[in-house]
Chains A and B, each alone.
Chain A
Amino acid sequence: MNKPKSVVFCLSRCVLAVFLLFLSFGASSFEAQPMAEDPLVEARLLEIAQELRCLVCQNESLAASRAELAEDLRREVRTLIKKGNTDQEIRDFLVSRYGDYVLYRPQVKPLTWGLWFGPALALLLGLWFLIGHIKQGLNNTAPSKHLSREEQERLDKILKD
Chain B
Amino acid sequence: MGRKKFLIPLFLFLGLVVFLALGLRKDPREIPSPLINKAAPAFELPTSKGPASFSPKDYAGKVWMFNVWATWCVSCREEHPILVAFAQRTGVPIIGLSYKEIQPQDEEKGALSLEDKLSLAQRRSELWLKRHGDPYQLSVFDLDGRVGIDYGVYGVPETYVIDAQGIIRYKHVGAMTAELLANQVMPLIQSLSPSS
Interface residues of A (CB under 8 A from B): 1-7, 9, 55-56, 58, 68-69, 72-73, 76, 95-101
Contacts and interface: CB of A to CB of B under 8 A. Distances in A.
A98 B75 contact: no
Interface of B: 25, 27-29, 31-35, 73-75, 78, 100, 144-146, 148-152, 154-157, 173-175, 177
Contact of A4 (B148, B151, B173): B173
A98 B34 contact: yes
Q: Is the interface of B mostly helix, strand, loop or mixed?
A: loop
A97 B151 contact: yes
Contacts, number: 65
A2 B75 CA distance: 10
A2 B174 contact: yes
Given A4-B175, A9-B74, A72-B145, A98 B154 contact: yes
A97 B158 CA distance: 14
Contacts of A96: 34
B149 A72 contact: yes
Contact of A76 (B32, B149, B152): B149
Contacts of A55: 31, 154-155
Contacts of B100: 68
A3 B27 CA distance: 7
A7 B29 contact: yes
Contact of A99 (B29, B31, B151, B175): B31
A95 B150 CA distance: 11
B56 to A, nearest CB: 16
